[in-house]
Amino acid sequence: MNDIIIYSVISLSLIGIIAAIILHLVAQKFKVIEDPRIDEVEEILPAANCGGCGFPGCRNFSEALVKSAHDKKTIEGLNCPVGGNDVMAIAAELLGLAAEEKEPLIAVIRCSGSHANAPKKVHYDGPATCAFAHNLSSGESGCPYGCLGCGDCVAACDFDAIYMDKTTGLPVVKDNCVACGACVIACPRDIIELRNRGKKDRKIFVSCINEEKGGVARKNCRVACIGCSKCFNVCSFDAITMNNNLAYIDYEKCKLCRKCVVECPTHAIHELNFPARKEKKVEVEKTVESKKVADNAAEIKK
């Protein structure tokens, strides 16, 4: 009886020792020498794994940073939108390089087709996902470019930075948006755009992406861009381009003068976070809804 115990202990120990030697040799042979800086850089990254940098996770991004610093001696083109300039500066310091300053971005919703502005013509009762609704039909308002209101962008956001406004039926971006771009990818209609945050978070943008002719677009939505070129003509900075019956404001050229906002006959151009205009100039009678969108955004900012 005792013999059995002794033999089994001895044989198992021997197997253990042999296996340990093999494992040790294999570990020596296949050892991967990793740059310790990868861990250091990863440590300072936000660890949100949102994919906003273009890599699957923060670990991959830090690997890419270290590789780029090692091979090209620069980390240009790599940016963590969540961490912003602060994090990138620390990362650059760790790698012994200089970080480039990047203007922070924020997502904006380029559609004002709320319940009031773009009344429903048909009723959609399918699954509440924009991806399916987009494939199925042009949507409840009939605008084939507008927001479908099922909230795929809200579901995609990892930062709780976007929510659905029940009264307007449109998503609203909160101020804590980190511009990771998840909602931009989630939106089947490409309504959401990442734009410059701008000075004091002030922004001017065309809140419509409808490329149909003016009359057709207006039939479905009263605040649609009709491609009249009025804003294009009034802009002194060449910031506005007209393409396919649609105006687009280049945020890098825009000087936030607000001339175009006043000029737009359909109130398709939105201004965000600006102080109220002087009494005399108040010509802009925005629709109740679009004002609400702006107000909401302002409130959240507070």
Partner 1 sequence: MLKTFKIGGVHPEENKFSADQPAEVLDFSKQVIIPLSQSLGAPSKAIVEKGDLIKVGQLIAKGESFISSNIHSSVSGKVLKVDQVLDQSGYRRPAIFINVDGDEWIEGIDRSSEIKKEITLTKEEIVKKVHELGIVGLGGATFPSHVKLMVPEGKKAEVLIINGVECEPYLTADHRLMLENGEEVLIGTSILMKGLGVNRAIIGIENNKTDAIANLAKLALNFDGIEIETLKVQYPQGGEKQLIDTVINRQVPSGKLPIEVGAVVNNVGTAFAVYEAVQKNKPLIERTVTVTGKGVSKPGNYKVRIGTSINTLIEKVGGLPENTGKIVSGGPMMGKALNSIDVPVVKGTSGVLLFEEEEARRIEPTNCIRCGKCITVCPMGLEPVLIAQYAESEMWEEVEAERAMDCIECGSCQYTCPAARPLLDYIRLGKFKVGQIIRIRSKK
What character string, x for contact with partner 1 (CB under 8 A) and - otherwise, covers 122-151? x--xxx-x-xx--xxxxx--x-x-------
269-272 and 203-206 strand pairing: antiparallel
The CA-CA-CA angle for residues 40, 93, 54, to 5°, reads: 65
Shortest distance, position 61 Cβ to partner 1, whole Å? 22
CB of 231 to partner 1, least distance (A): 25
Is the Cβ–Cβ distance between 99 and 75 less than 8 Å? yes
**Residue numbers 185-214 binding partner 1 by CB under 8 A:** 212
**Which residue shows structure tokens 């115990």?**
5
Of 58 and 150, CB closest to partner 1: 150
Give the nearer residue to partner 1 in terms of CB position, either 107 or 133.
133
Least distance between partner 1 and beta carbon 184 (Å): 16
**117 vs 220, which CB is nearer to partner 1?**
220
Helices 58-71 and 36-44, packing angle to 10 deg:
130
Amino acid at 158: D
Least Cβ distance, residue 125 to partner 1 (angstroms): 5
Please state the closest distance from residue 216 (CB atom) to partner 1, in A. 8
Residues 229-288 that bind partner 1 (CB under 8 A): none
Comparing CB distances to partner 1, the nearer of 139 and 227 is 139
Provide CB contacts within 8 A for 273, sequence distance 6+: 200, 201, 202, 203, 297, 298, 301
Query: Smaller CB distance to partner 1: residue 9 or 122?
Result: 122
- Identify the residue whose tokens are 């925005």: 286
Quick count: other Cβ atoms within 10 Å of Cβ 117? Answer: 25
Tell me the one-letter amino acid at 87: V
Element (H, E) at 230: helix 230-234
Output 78 or 147, the one with its CB closest to partner 1: 147
Give the nearest distance from C-beta 114 to partner 1 in angstroms: 19
* Nearest one of 189, 221, 218, 205 to 116, comparing CA atoms: 221
- Among positions 214-233, residues that touch partner 1 (CB under 8 A) are 216
Q: Between residues 126 and 265, which has the closer beta carbon with respect to partner 1? A: 126
CB–CB of 273/201 below 8 Å? yes
Task: Determine which helix (DSSP H) or strand (DSSP E) holds 165, and give its type and residue range.
Answer: strand 162-165
| Binding span for partner 1 by CB under 8 A among 71-79, 108-116, 119-127, 196-204 | 119-127
Sites of contact with partner 1 (CB under 8 A):
121-122, 125-127, 129, 131-132, 135-139, 142, 144, 212, 216
